[in-house]
Amino acid sequence: MRASGIFWLTSLAFLLAGCEPLSEVETEAVTDSPVTETRELESQYHNLRLRTVVEGLEYPWAIAFLPDGRLLVSERPGRLNIIDDGEVIKVGGIPEDLHATNQGGLLDIALHPGYDDNGWIYLTYSQGDAEATRTTLIRGRLDGETLADVEKVFTEGRASGPGRHYGSRLAWLPDGTLLMSVGDRGAEPPRAQDTADHAGTLLRLNDDGSVPGDNPFVDDEDYLPEIYSYGHRNIQGLIVHPESGEIWASEHGPRGGDELNRVQAGNNYGWPQVTLGRDYRTEATFNGAVRSKEGKTDPVIDWTPEIAPSGLTYVPGKAFENWEGNLLAGGLRSRQIRRVVFEDGIVVHEEELIREEIGRIRDVRKGPNGGIYITTDESDGGVYKLTPVR
């Protein structure tokens, strides 16, 4: 059976059970493939060139850019790769306690801001076994084709049944602290309102995993000190604006109600007490939730129908000068990138890009040369580069 058929059967089973359909299924092993295709596409204000960088990856999740021009790409089943001019080089040293199933596995990648001096690479993954897993952050250094000096930086405090809502996006703040999202883990959404639980939160950590002394709840014994914001369902896109320092996050709603949020320290984003989405099975209000509530922060954008948000990036205008200041938000189910246009802090326009061209979009990253790099959430996935046509 083809992977798409397996996915829809799995989704149907979960819908009938009143649960969220899982985004991923496990399939055949990866094969290497060279650059194969370039195509040109139309969009508003820029014509685009979409180039295949590498194909044959199994659910590639995240991209990071090494200073020497090579790419690091994670595959959810548990592989880390160096991509060197289309060649896929497997990196050893991934922790043996990684448990890959459904949405879990090897997830995000981020280089330390001082990478040139210390060589630290940060990775998130689902740690555990078939009974229970936790969202976990490690760091290590490349030693040839091996991840060496690996150490655990942070582990979610409470284990959960494996498979859903790990969050796991990483972003560095200008002060050298690290943001890390942790999903609500799916089975018990009210955990996102439990301030003694890491589930459903955005965390702020020092680079060694310790707690910054100015975190919003660091002196409140009713809150875990790592929490920066809470009431999140499953943040899958996360950036820090390079000019304003604002934190932007895209996250999944239930049926409808996907969100783009401007995240502020200490705020409660409402899930599951507040949502614009609906129950999967009945389309009724989700578990008695309301659409807005005092003390809970509303989203900047409500994507209904849902796009199933994924990677998020900012366009600085170096290459895409007509898109300067826009956000690009990936979509899994919608199989597109959504270009979001702001004016005086207000969203004034959105455009759909590369819809249905390459499949489910998992990561969207601005490259060091101004191009936009994309991974696809497919059993035969790949890495693509988007540039303007001059």
Where do the structural domains in the chain lie, given as residue ranges? 3-388
- What share of the chain has pLDDT > 70, as a percent? 91
The runs of H, that is alpha helices, within the chain are 3-16, 115-118
Say whether domain 3-388 belongs to CATH 2.120.10.30.
yes
- What share of the chain has pLDDT > 90, as a percent? 86
State the average pLDDT over residues 117-142.
98
Whether residue 1 has pLDDT greater than 80: no
| CA pair distance 380, 36, nearest whole angstrom | 14
Whether residue 21 has pLDDT greater than 70: no
Whether residue 100 has pLDDT greater than 60: yes
- Would residue 165 show up in a list of annotated catalytic residues for this protein? yes
pLDDT at 282: 87
pLDDT band per the 50, 70, 90 thresholds, residue 345: confident
DSSP of 179-230:
EEEE---SS-GGGGG-TTS-TTEEEEE-TTSPPPTT-TTTT-TTS-TTEEEE
pLDDT at 355: 95
Model confidence over 181-222: pLDDT tens digits?
Answer: 999 999 999 999 999 999 999 999 999 999 999 999 999 999
pLDDT at 287: 84
CB burial string 171-206: b at 16+ within 10 A, e below: bbeeeebbbbbbbbbbebbebbbbbebbbbbbbbbe
337 within 8 A of 362, measured Cβ to Cβ: no
Q: Quick one: how far is CA 366 from the chain centroid?
A: 14
pLDDT band per the 50, 70, 90 thresholds, residue 60: very high
Model confidence over 250-309: pLDDT tens digits?
Answer: 999 999 999 999 999 999 999 999 999 998 888 888 888 999 999 999 999 999 999 999
pLDDT at 189: 96
pLDDT band per the 50, 70, 90 thresholds, residue 47: very high
In the sheet with 336-343, reading across from the earlier edge strand, the strands are 309-314, 327-331, 336-343, 346-353
| CA pair distance 311, 364, nearest whole angstrom | 5
Which sign does the torsion angle of CA 329, 28, 8, 105 carry?
Answer: negative
Catalytic residue among 165, 198, 232, 252: 165
| CA pair distance 168, 232, nearest whole angstrom | 12
pLDDT at 37: 80
User: Torsion over CA of 256, 236, 31 and 98, rounded to 10 degrees?
Assistant: -120
Pairing relationship of beta strands 170-172 and 146-155 according to DSSP bridges: unpaired
User: Torsion over CA of 85, 90, 94 and 97, rounded to 10 degrees?
Assistant: 130
pLDDT at 36: 55
**Measured at the alpha carbon of residue 227, what is the angle toward residues 337 and 154, in degrees to the nearest 5?**
85
Pairing relationship of beta strands 372-376 and 361-366 according to DSSP bridges: antiparallel
